Amino acid sequence: MTQSAVVPPGSNDAVRLVSRLYRAREASILLVVALVVVAATVTSPDFLFSSSGWRDLTLAPSILMILAVGEAIVIITRNVDISVGAVLGFTAYFAGRVLTDYPGVPVVVVFLLGTLLGALMGLFNGLLVTLLRVPALVVTLGTLYIFRGIDVLWAGGIRIMPGDLPSSFLDLGTSSILTVPTVTIIAVFVAAAAVWYMKCTRGGRTFYAIGSDPDAARLYGLPTGRRVIIALATSGALAGFSGVLYLSRYATADSQVGTGWELQAIAAVVIGGIAIAGGSGSVGGAALGAVLLITINRALPVLGIPDFWQQAVIGVLILFAIVTDRLLFIRTSHQLLEARETTNA
């Protein structure tokens, strides 16, 4: 006989509390983005109202949004992938070589190959993490240097230039639909698809269960190792896709592309409300964190703030996000404890 789960009275209240708090977190990020844009526009109207202002504002965070979505899925499982910058750089140069060496190859095929290559690199990370039982931080730190080293060896001093790339490929990075850049539309679609998967499917909820308590998830019978591999492969695939998109937008690639992007992706995830300890947060929040991060980086020079303080502001945002997550955890724990006491009374 199948036994239905009994939900303690009050536990739904705790779940609703968490949901409300995270929605409020995402709304607060949007509010901060709006305030930053307004402040920069008042200081310099060209920030938003010039011929390229709106376009740059929406286009600038797009690639980091996709990278942050993949990173968010990994961090939710209580792991981290710091090789994504190297994967982005490697696949950007790989896509450039494909387009240069094989003229006439369809653009769709290039994106598929770049995404597949990134997925294989992420799969390699996942297999090392699960089979060798080595922390993802250590594994991906190693593969960061391995992937970057192979890229440097392959590319050397060669740079892919705009003249090497077909116009059909470059048009994707510069085209717009109803004044919204195509790259931005792609990024929003990727983020929306990830949000739906993580919230509305059993597989997505499994990632949260693993991050919340890996031992309990394992005892419950969840395939924790397989899901961690899938998370890292997904992160790699999105980083590979981002690499091809990067080439389409910037029309150039060399062995240094993607350097430092892994730190920006992790910062976007933390700022977006995903707990670095895993198990909580929203992939949509990570995407919004990327928007906030890039918008601040673009706005602070307009506001006349020196470079040092620009970096300090980002650091403050990260610390504020960590403290907020801790307070959220404490409040939710108290709520669940009260619900349990009510049930036992």
pLDDT at 328 over 80: no
4 is a domain residue? no
Give the domain range for residue 155: 53-333
What pLDDT, on a 0 to 100 scale, did the predictor assign at position 123?
Answer: 97
In a domain, 308, yes or no: yes
CA distance 62 to 58: 7
Range in 54-58, 119-123, 290-294 with the lowest mean pLDDT: 54-58
| Banded model confidence at residue 21, pLDDT cuts 50, 70, 90 | low
| Residue 324 within a domain | yes
Question: Which residues lie closer than 8 Å to 223 by C-beta, 6 or more apart?
Answer: none
Using DSSP, state whether 177 is helix, strand or coil.
strand
CB 280 within 8 A of CB 212: yes
- List the CATH number of the domain containing 151: 1.10.3470
32 falls within a domain: no
In a domain, 6, yes or no: no
| Minimum mean pLDDT range among 127-136, 155-164, 231-240, 241-250 | 155-164
Domain membership of residue 345 (yes or no) is no
Percent of the chain surpassing pLDDT 70: 87
In the 8-state DSSP scheme, what is residue 160?
B
**In this predicted model, what pLDDT tens digit does every residue of 281-294 receive, in sequence order?**
889 999 999 999 99
* 3 inside domain: no
* pLDDT band for position 300 (cuts 50, 70, 90): confident
Structural domain total, the chain? 1
Contact 246, 110 (CB under 8 A): no
Residue 293 · residue 64 · CB < 8 Å? yes
Q: Grade residue 20 by pLDDT with cuts at 50, 70 and 90.
A: low
Write the pLDDT tens digit of every residue in 167-208: 999 999 999 998 899 999 999 999 999 999 998 999 899 999
Question: Closest by alpha carbon to 316, among 284, 292, 334, 340?
Answer: 292
- Indicate the pLDDT class of residue 214, thresholds 50, 70 and 90: confident
pLDDT at 147 over 60: yes
